[in-house]
Amino acid sequence: MSLTVVKGLQSEIYVPITPPPVWAPVKKELKDMTIALATAAGVHHKEQERFNLAGDFTWRKITDTMPSNELMVSHGGYDNSDVNKDINCMFPIDRIHELAKEGFIKACAPVHAGFMGGGGNQEKFKGETGPAIAQMFVEEGVDGVILTAG
């Protein structure tokens, strides 16, 4: 049965459609996993180009060796005051390092990803930015990713 009963009819109410599920199984125990961070909170190094606050589908590679006090946020879509006080609020890099040190996880990945969610070209995010970040994590042998967004 076709879902369209009246051709060309468009609802005045925006109805989001949840996409079909995706699922990559966990294959290792936490103590054997290399964990990376990916955040939509607009995190990047101070020396890197800031995001365009009006909408930006680009992303920044954050290497694990960048000190957390040299990271910053450019994001026009949420109150930045907490994250300006402590980057770990949205990008818990120091906490991940501590968990790796105590052996809760095997290691921190050598690379992480920062991008600016909440707007921008969604097709580009889906077709280019997302796959590019995923590819980097695959190449670097990442076993699991924690995201902060939404």
Write out the residues near another protein by the rule CB under 8 A: 16, 18-26, 29-30, 35, 38, 40-41, 78-83, 85-86, 88-92, 94-96, 98-99, 104-105, 115, 117, 125-126, 129-131, 133-135, 137-138, 142-150
Query: Parallel, antiparallel, or unpaired for β 59-63 and 144-148?
Result: unpaired
Q: Which is nearer to another protein, 2 or 11 (CB)?
A: 11
| Joined tokens for residue 76 | 């026009």
Selection from 36, 26, 32 nearest residue 106 by Cα: 32
Selection from 124, 109, 108, 114 nearest residue 48 by Cα: 114
Residue/partner pairs of 94-103 with CB below 8 Å, 24 or more apart: 94/68, 96/35, 96/37, 96/146, 99/35, 100/35, 103/31
> What's the min distance (Å) between Cβ of 75 and another protein?
9
Q: Which is nearer to another protein, 6 or 128 (CB)?
A: 128
> What's the min distance (Å) between Cβ of 38 and another protein?
6
Per the CB < 8 A criterion, the answer to whether 90 and 41 are in contact is: yes
> What's the min distance (Å) between Cβ of 7 and another protein?
27
> What's the min distance (Å) between Cβ of 51 and another protein?
14
Q: Which is nearer to another protein, 56 or 143 (CB)?
A: 143
Q: Which is nearer to another protein, 66 or 146 (CB)?
A: 146
